[in-house]
Amino acid sequence: MSPIDKLATYLKGANEELRKVVWPTKDETIQATIVVIAMSIGLAAFFWVLDLIFTKALSYLIK
């Protein structure tokens, strides 16, 4: 089997697999994006507060 035949077989298989994919709707994509943004903001705030706490504690221990 030549490299061209192998490539053609691979591309046909990939195309068949892509036809099986169930793509999310626009509403599902928007909802998932909002969840990701909200979680990112929430975790950033959590780590910011944690950083403040550790900074204050370390400053207290050094003095």
Q: Would you say residue 7 lies in a domain? A: no
Is residue 51 within 8 A of residue 43, CB to CB? The reply is no
Range of the domain at 29: 24-63
Do 46 and 39 form a contact (C-beta atoms < 8 A)? Answer: no
**Is residue 1 in some structural domain?**
no
Give 12-49 pLDDT, tens digit per residue. 999 999 999 999 999 999 999 999 999 999 999 999 99
Q: Which residue type, as a one-letter code, is found at position 9? A: T
The pTM of the whole model exceeds 0.85: no
2 within a domain of the structure (yes/no): no
**In the prediction, which pLDDT does 63 show?**
83
Query: What confidence score (pLDDT) does residue 8 get?
Result: 96
Chain centroid to CA 19: 23
